[in-house]
Chains A and B, each alone.
Chain A
Amino acid sequence: MKLIRKNAKEQELTQERSGSFKGASIDRRTFLRNSGLAAGGTAVTSMLAPGMMKKAEAASGGTTGGETETVRSVCTHCSVGCGVYAEVQNGVWTGQEPAFDHPFNLGAHCAKGASVREHGHGERRLKYPMKLVGGQWKRVSWDQAIEEVGEQMLQIRKKSGPDSVYWLGSAKFNNEQSYLFRKFAAMWGTNNVDHQARICHSTTVAGVANTWGYGAMTNSYNDIHNSKAMLVIGGNPAEAHPVSLLHLFKAKEQGAKLLVIDPRFTRTAAHADHYVRIRPGTDVPIIWGMMWHIFKNGWEDQEFINQRVYGMDDVQAEVAKWTPDEVERVTGADEATVKKAAQIMAENKPGTFIWCMGGTQHTIGNNNTRAYCAFQLALGNMGKSGGGANIFRGHDNVQGATDFCILSHSLPGYYGLSGGAWKHWSRVWDLDFNWVKSRFDQKAYEGNKSPMHTKGIPVSRWIDGVLEDKNNITQQDNIRAMVLWGHAPNSQTRGKEMKAAMEKLDLMVIIDPYPTVSAVMHDRKDGVYLLPASTQFETYGSVTASNRSLQWRDRVIAPLFESLPDHTIMYKLAKKLGMHEQLTKNIKIVNDEPYIEDITREFNSGMWTIGYTGQSPERMKTQQKNWHTFNTTTLKAEGGPADGEYYGLPWPCWGTADMKHPGTPNLYDPSKAVAEGGLNFRARFGVEREGETLLAEGSYPVGNELRDGHPEFNMALLEKLGWDSDLTTAERAAIGRVAGSKTNWKTDLSGGIQRVAIKHGCAPFGNAKARVMVWTFPDPVPIHREPLYTSRRDLVAKYPTYADRKSHYRLPTRYESIQAEDFTSRYPLILTSGRLVEYEGGGDETRSNPWLAELQQDMFAEINPKDANDNGIQDGRDIWLEGAEGARVKVKAMVSQRVAPGVVFMPFHFGGHFEGKDLRSKYPKGSDPYVLGEAANTAMTYGYDSVTQMQETKCSLCKIELA
């Protein structure tokens, strides 16, 4: 080996380098100055120097040849909606650059976002359509797969009716695909259609929409900059929404207090100013416990309550029962800790309230979410910048998929399933209502209701739709065919019963970029099809972030292998099922691919309820190209082609695109005119109740000509006010065609009623109070009820669960018959679950990404040192964890103080092992994820929310022993 002297080498290097820089004519110091600021600075300094992009192209262009194209996309992993710059050369995704000028993430990414380029490799993807024959995977053609799947569906339809095929959709669809999928299920004639929102935030949507009108995050991640206090309960954004911490930290460093309430000392809690540990499932008691101090000390905002809240007296009566002693007895949090939490929120206003799955996934999830709302209303934190209910959604487009109602209880836009809703959508689809009706089962369900008006079976319960005796189900026959389209089955509870259900089905169709656990967890020998779908980077369209902003994604690469975009698969299947003409009547088809922009325009013409009408493809594309023009706190464009608009035209973006509504950055904020994004609470629950008005009193948005509360608008009200003269002839004619003077702001296809109401400063949906007492729910005022599998038998008598129900979403649903039994002697530990930063959902996609998979290679359970020692378990050892219904999972022990004594935590992203058995050999060759592990939900037990059928995944019981 020849040794070279360092100094000599250095000189050589310096020459070499300066030479090469000269050649590339790059002024290095200037660049370093720019990029140094970019990486180190915050919002203000994060603009990418305009020249840099070109230089980057030139530099890497030199390496492999071919022009580098930079494509704008949005990360597909969570609802923050981080902008992505993808560099593509000759159709290959070669680089990923930080989008410093994107208003949501300012270039930042978490582990998942920083690894999205791996989608361009897709080594472990499902590559071809496949079919299980005699227990072996066999490659088939798309034509054969569609033909065989369609034929079997038609047979099942003939014998058992359309409700025997279940259409399980996905929050990974873009908006256009979500809308088309819900329409597809309607054309097939069933409400047995659902997606992940059921098992993530369904209790939020139901609870929040029933409190103040809309069931979505009210403010935005960026608006948190304006908060003085931030309360996070049942959420761990440091792992589930890491880039949101960018915004939380900005507020924190400006002096805002961060308060975390959680059973686990999460990575978010590690950054908190104040942390409150509670027993899982005691959200209502801790909230009422804080409000006890608020009411006792007069910290509530009485003027806000008087003007804008209905039913606070009822809440106050319930809160009075939650004395500090009782709160400590039930939650475990002592008086000083709880009082300090309440005081932080009361003394630092406006404060924002953030929650996630820890609050929603309970049998009383809807009570929890409504208690959170009541807390914010009592403090007057709603409808304010820096305040709000900042509900962080999960998947990248779970907000959009929810808005398009891939849900068994509603049509797109939360129109519901009433006759009026079906007629509205039939008009939008330009189809005869009677044809739509004829597609459904012609028998009557639930007394004398047509199946088209009865809620379908939710995803959380599809296994019961298969396994339950058909005489107990409120539909003609069991579910016989299951379409799992972009869905991980391991994100659902009761794994053993799911396996049995999969084995009982006639037909399983899995449509996904990956085989998913659905391909392997059962012991079927045939009747399973795997159809490869493309990811969102291989198609284009709009996606709705958690803050209701719609962003346009461009296509990064062409579909890999033989995969097809979801909407193309929908069209191909519809063609086989004989309903493609109706499905795409207003949509252009190119090579079996429905034209995305036409789908956008179709939903623009029907989504009046929540204002998905102003976001035309053109407006969204303009914003996407100019995302650097938006202010990173207000999200308002300052100059440029989108001047005055809010980023993503956050819904409601009222009226037609021509009306140029800027979008609504913060819901229910009366400090702005409705035309400029202001709002008030929605009049959704009538105008009065028991002689008391439900309309707002003396509170209204800037410029409201009625200067008080008012009901929602219809043609008759316009006529009464004399405002109908503002309608154009065309608008008047359109209104006449729907229902004359009965036409309301939701069904007027011209948008005229909305336009005129807004012209006079009024919100089309009326101006009412929020209600903290929902008289239509099982518990009008949120109350505490112990979980079905409770660890505290001493509390069951005082806080019992519900009575069993005979038909709840078509299925018998058990409550007290389970809670009656004492499981604590056999299963002494509380079992709870949650997320890891590296993985998403069921994890099939992220565990197939080597950059992520390497970081978390083993499924584990967090156990407190006390419980570990009591059970003879050491850190890192294999253990058996047995759930209270007898299912066992073999995982590694992680002994940690993160969980309290008596509580065991498992992450839910793993799959591919089942009760100790490694199922790797059952994946199609080359499509097995790098990392497999036991699914936490195999051991999770029964339990469903009383309003939405949300599954209980946050408190059950278990026991642990060394394996």
Chain B
Amino acid sequence: MARMKFLCDAERCIECNGCITACKNENDVPWGINRRRVVTLKDGEPGEKSISVACMHCTDAPCQAVCPVDCFSTTPDGVVLHNKDMCIGCGYCFYACPFGAPQFPQNEAFGVRGKMDKCTYCAGGPETADGSAEEQQKYGSNRLAEGKLPLCAEMCATKALLAGDSDQISQTYTARILQRGGRPQTWGWSSAYGE
């Protein structure tokens, strides 16, 4: 069975935020909710690195472990989904998540007030019919059911953000690392660590 993952190649990410607007575009995510964000370390300094982060769809997801109403479930593809009908908006998942993925709307989002919202890997919701109007309204699009991958990764400006079966993306990434000669070549690397 496929194990769907995201991988962000920090050597290529340029913090263009294309992944963020692609997500907004595809899922009609309202202002104030960010299912995906780009984190930049050492902004404006040598060694600056950016990485695009969303729900990482963990294998043993902490959000799932702490949820008091057990609204999380993992699909056979390894996508972590949550049921918005069951969610009580308590925020435990927000504390548990190492990536800051869960979002809590202040106004209404997808017609439901205060329920948690996060990246669905463009796989819709756990309980809704694939591609239904209800699913679109509550969770956003269901690209997986259409045989497509999350739009953030598909539209990435530099193909830094990879999505797909973990075997496949690790192959792609490994090929890149070998091509690059095994170490980052960015300015500042040699002054920091020597040649």
Contact = CB atoms under 8 A, between A and B. Distances in A.
Nearest to B75: A13
Contacts of B180: 253
Contacts of B162: 39-40
A3 B69 contact: yes
Contacts of A852: 21
B176 A38 contact: no
B12 to A, nearest CB: 6
B43 interface: yes
A35 interface: yes
A111 B146 contact: no
A107 interface: yes
Interface in B163-189: 163-165, 168-169, 172, 176, 179-180, 185-187
Contacts of A254: 179
Contact of A108 (B45, B64, B133, B155): B155
B129 interface: yes
Contacts of A897: 44-45
A242 interface: yes
A862 B43 CA distance: 12
Interface string B17-53: 1111110111000011000000000011110111000
Interface in A49-98: 52, 55-56, 59-60, 62-64, 95-98
B16 interface: yes
B144 to A, nearest CB: 8
B92 to A, nearest CB: 14
A854 interface: yes
Contacts of B116: none
Given A110-B17, A111-B21, A265-B45, A98 B155 contact: yes
Contacts of B129: 20
A56 B146 contact: yes
B113 interface: no
Contact of B186 (A20, A33, A34, A271): A271
Contacts of A275: 46, 187
B154 A115 contact: no
Contacts of A37: 164, 168
A52 B148 contact: yes
Best-surrounded residue of B44, B129, B132 (most CB of chain A within 10 A) = B44
A515 B21 CA distance: 24
A368 B129 CA distance: 61
B147 interface: yes
A106 to B, nearest CB: 8
A925 interface: no
Contact of B131 (A4, A62, A242): A62
B101 interface: no
Interface string A97-132: 110100000111111111101100000000000000
A837 B17 contact: yes
Interface residues of A, number: 87
Given A17-B76, A239-B16, A108 B70 contact: no
A4 B86 contact: yes
Contact of B164 (A39, A60, A100, A238): A39
Contacts of A95: 26
Contact of A272 (B21, B49, B148, B187): B187
B105 interface: no
A114 B145 CA distance: 21
Contacts of B70: 3-6
B190 to A, nearest CB: 9
A26 interface: yes
A98 B132 contact: no
Contacts of B19: 114
A31 B123 CA distance: 14
B149 interface: yes
Interface stretch (A148-156, A243-251, A346-354, A579-587): A243-251
Best-surrounded residue of A59, A108, A271 (most CB of chain B within 10 A) = A271
Interface string A265-282: 101111111110000000
Contacts of A876: none
Interface in B118-160: 126, 129-133, 136, 144-149, 151, 153-159
Given A98-B155, A242-B14, A898-B44, A111 B20 contact: yes
A826 interface: no
A110 B16 contact: yes
Contacts of B131: 59-60, 62-63
Contact of B158 (A31, A39, A62, A249): A249
B73 A114 contact: no
B112 interface: no
A451 to B, nearest CB: 46
A21 interface: yes
B168 to A, nearest CB: 4
A898 B45 CA distance: 6
Nearest to B161: A39
Contacts of B186: 270-273
10 contacts: A3-B70, A4-B86, A5-B70, A9-B126, A24-B145, A36-B163, A114-B155, A115-B25, A242-B18, A851-B21
Given A28-B144, A31-B148, 12 more contacts: A5-B70, A41-B172, A62-B131, A96-B25, A110-B16, A246-B158, A271-B186, A272-B186, A274-B187, A854-B32, A855-B20, A896-B43
Interface of A: 1, 3-6, 9-10, 13-14, 17, 20-21, 24, 26, 28-42, 52, 55-56, 59-60, 62-64, 95-98, 100, 106-115, 117-118, 238-239, 242-243, 245-246, 249, 252-254, 260, 265, 267-275, 837-838, 850-852, 854-855, 862, 896-899
Minimum-distance CB pairs A-B, first 10: A31-B147, A36-B164, A898-B44, A270-B48, A242-B16, A114-B22, A111-B17, A115-B21, A40-B172, A851-B24
Interface of B: 2, 11-12, 14-22, 24-26, 31-32, 43-46, 48-50, 64, 69-70, 72-77, 86, 88, 126, 129-133, 136, 144-149, 151, 153-159, 162-165, 168-169, 172, 176, 179-180, 185-187
